[in-house]
Structure 1
Amino acid sequence: MSIDFEIPPDAKAIRLRVRQWVHDECIPAEKRLLEGDDYKTVLNELRVKARSQGLWCPFIPKEYGGMGLGPLANALVQMELGESPLGALSMNTQGPDDATMLTILQNGTEYQKEKFLKPLLNGEKRVCYSMTEKAAGADATGMQTRAVKDGNENYVLNGEKWFSSAASVADMVLIMAMTDPDAPRHQRYSTFIVELPNPGYNIKRDIPTMAAEGPLSHIMGGGHSEVEIRDLVVPAENLLGGEGNGFNMGQHRLAYGRLRHGMHNVAMAQRALDLAAAHVTKRETFGKLLSERQGVQFMLADCASQLYIARLMLLHIAYKAEKGMDLRQENGIAKVYLANMVHQVVDTAIQLHGALGYSLDTPLARWYTHIRSQRLVDGPDEVHRWTTGRNVIKEFLANGTTAGACGGDLL
């Protein structure tokens, strides 16, 4: 009996449709933006067309207006959308909105779904997520922003947030704040939905980063804001998921975000490798095509190997998600691997392009400066490796072998 790697026909079909969509619509639209067309006009045209074709909110249930894709089909779709910065945006599946939509869908009251989720699903509004703080960094249980109840009607929030992605283009924000400092460590925090703009939520600046920025970077939601929260009054009905559940909801949300980053990284790496292959099969040096040189072939082989491993990782995680299995160990391993994989493949593509790759005449240099963040966002590599290593030890102590912590339960 053989292991069946056959993708179901319906998942294959939607992957092909999305691949065609990205190549026929999103990549040409990138060129329109570079030529000066208005971003909002271009995006609106893409979204209207995508929605008319049923390409909208892939992971959202059909009863809420989405495509209702399961983990496997959604993974295949996301691994296509990441080829273009307009891919996910065109189908309203961009971060940080996507994981935040899921959080409200799974934990929101009917009032919250109607007032806040509905306009997000319709693409009328955008949302950001304010959790990270300078003082806490990767330790989410170190957050100091406080929410104090003022009678029974409101909470008053005070504190600061750091690196709130897409805050400058958001119409609402989910804020995590401490509601009970005396509770067990993971039950001290709660999450609140706040409409923006709000005088209590002051975006001090979009933090400059090493990423190469163009005129559209922040308009598209690529900014990361430093935020001051002062006497921000939030109605009690905007508390999401009940008091003390903010941390657990946040971790569940980040788990999807890590996977989505990884899926998009596969798509970006694939496009980078395609660009490299196109270049070396045309570029001639010293009377010989670059593609005929063994050293170049070795470089392409390494990229192909990394992409192959990346795809298998994501397919296995999607399989476990489909079956409702615990995928935390695999998720942490994949998060680190995929972040480093895309860095290596894009770096190789730049090297094979020579000075052209270093220039901004191809998208490679912009991608290179952007993807360095992948080893930091949603938890730095070191935190995930620390957790993975602890699990290896736990598995050995429990079962006398480490196999279960490194894919040994695959069968």
Structure 2
Amino acid sequence: MDFGVSERIETIVSMINEFVDRELIPMEPEYLVHDFDEMLPKIREKQEMVKKMGLWAPNFPTECGGMGLSLLEHGLVSEALGRSPLGHFVFWCQAPDAGNVEILHMFGTEAQKERYLTPLVEGKIRSCFSMTEVDMPGSNPVMLETTAVKDGDDYVINGHKWYTTSADGADFAIVMAVTNPDAPPYLQASMIIVPNDTPGFNIVRNIPVMGHEGSGYASHAEILYQSCRVPRANLLGTEGHGFVIAQERLGPGRIHHCMRWLGICQRAFDLMCKRANERVIAPNGKTLATRQIIQGWIAESAAEMEAARLMTLHAAWQIDNVGASKARDSISMIKFVVANTMNRIVDRALQVHGGLGMTDDTILAYFYRHERAARIYDGADEVHKTSLAKRILRSYEGKEVR
């Protein structure tokens, strides 16, 4: 396998890093204290700059108006963008739009692509993904209570969802609902496009997360579908194949997440090292950097980041070359390894900053409260570990080991 990076991608990543440092990081103090909608005019200005640089929508297909980067290439871009919470949105490769573009591109009809995919890639509209339910385990997408019942040429959707990321201000949702209740478990659900202005699509609230409600794309909505009627033409792919489509979406999506988390790791690591070198802790001028425990944290963090990064790039290479199904062990591994690596490094960086780390005077408190969820969404750590272990153990059944 070859993780070699082309000169083109090296240039792109360098341009992105420079843009993040010059244009986005200075915006963060304002972003931390204002609603997303208040920041939107400034964000739009930065997005226009990105378009002029030719770096818009890096992971979306070229025929849709994106850059068409491979998963491995986009992983490197995502790492650079992850250093700022504004990065992915400004360059237009944020979740859940990125995953929705992928499934619309793979499974959408020509009419669906014209109405939803093209304007979504262009940044003219936003979308949300509505799968997780209040009373069902989010890590098991075959357990759903939301139903979509056929009525003539329509589906009538009823259900209760939450953690529908970015529903606030989105133009449409892709909803996972049971359409075939008598089919085998993995063939019961379908994905259906629901415009957010459809009667019966009701946003109850933006859920407060760690004390912050959020708005716009940085929000997580609770939604009631109450006799929400949409045309059957809004079905994505084949009826009953919602789980299959979800797996196509979630595999590459985990690469996006993991590389973004590694960008967060790098930002936290940089801040930690800078603080350790500057923070004087004794009258003789000695700094935190002279303390062995801090040195241990620095060394451990550097090694953990490098290991997590190589694991993630390997998983991305596998998906690009042999497909997500054959890469599922690697995908499970990186999901819990990188999430935990990020949480440890952010925690160490915050600790090194002391009281300052608890404030919003640095980005660390934001990362601490927003990224703890990384060990839960897209499959909790424990689910990935259990699934991975079962597959490994099955491979040893009847196998002679000396």
TM-score under structure 2 length normalisation: 0.94
Give, as a single letter, the amino acid of the residue that structure 1 aligns with 2:263: A
> 2 CA distance for matches of 1:95 and 1:119?
16
Cα deviation digits, residues 209-265 of structure 1 (max 9, x gap): 22x537xx313x222111111111111111110201111111221222222111111
Aligned to 1:26: 24
Distance 1:315 1:163 in 2: 28
What pairs with 1:2-401 in structure 2 (closer than 5 Å)? Answer: 5-33=3-31, 38-137=38-137, 138-151=139-152, 153-210=153-210, 212-213=211-212, 217-219=214-216, 221-286=217-282, 287=284, 288-325=286-323, 326-397=326-397, 400=400
Find the aligned partners of 1:199 and 1:5 in 2 and give their Cα distance.
49
> Could you list the runs of 5+ residues in structure 1 that have no partner in the other structure?
402-411
Residue identity (%): 38
SS at match of 2:111: helix
Amino acid at match of 1:17: M
Question: Equivalent residue of 1:117, what SS?
Answer: helix
- Mapped to 1, the partners of 2:360 and 2:33 lie a distance apart of 14
Write the distance in 2 (CA, Å) between the matches of 1:206 and 1:33: 18
1: distance between equivalents of 2:287 and 2:50? 40
User: Which string of whole-angstrom CA distances, capped at 9 and with x for unpartnered residues, describes residues 115-135 of structure 1?
Assistant: 011111110111001111122
SS in 1 for 2:229: strand
Coordinate RMSD, CA, aligned: 1.8
- Superposed displacement of residue 81, structure 1: 0.5
**Deviations 1:313-355 (Å, cap 9, x if unpaired)?**
1111122122124211000110001111110000000111111
What secondary structure sits across from 2:252 in the alignment?
helix
Q: Work out which structure has the larger RCO, using CA pairs closer than 8 Å and 6 or more positions apart in sequence.
A: 2
Query: Distance between the aligned counterparts of 2:178 and 2:2, measured in 1?
Result: 48
Contact 2:199 2:229 in 1 (8 A): no
Structure 2 distance, partners of 1:6, 1:110, is 36
1:108 and 1:400 map into 2 onto residues whose CA distance is 47
Q: Distance in 1 between matches of 2:34 and 2:251?
A: 37
Q: How far, CA to CA, are the matches of 1:319 and 1:330 in structure 2?
A: 10
CA distance in 2, matches of 1:103, 1:5: 27
Do 2:61 and 2:67's aligned partners in 1 also have CA atoms closer than 8 Å? yes
C-alpha distance 204-296 of structure 1, shift in aligned 2 (>3 A): same
Quote the Cα distance in structure 2 between the aligned partners of 1:307 and 1:130. 32
CA distance in 2, matches of 1:150, 1:5: 51
Aligned-pair CA distance for 1:4: 5.5
Which AA in structure 1 matches 2:246? Answer: G
Are the counterparts in 2 of residues 205 and 227 from structure 1 also a CA contact under 8 Å? yes
Q: Quote how far apart the aligned CAs of 1:398 are.
A: 6.4
Instruction: Compute the TM-score of the two structures, normalised by the length of structure 1.
Output: 0.92
1:147 alignment partner AA = A
> What is the rounded CA distance, in whole Å, between the counterparts of 1:121 and 1:346 in structure 2?
32
Q: Distance in 2 between matches of 1:34 and 1:203?
A: 24
Contact 2:255–2:316 (Cα < 8 Å) also in 1: no
Alpha-carbon shift at residue 399 of structure 1 (Å): 5.1
Task: Provide the secondary structure at the position in 1 that maps to 2:199.
Answer: coil
- The 1-side partners of 2:295 and 2:359 are apart by 23
Displacement, 1:184? 1.1
Post-superposition offset of 1:30: 2.3
How many residues are treated as equivalent by the alignment? 395
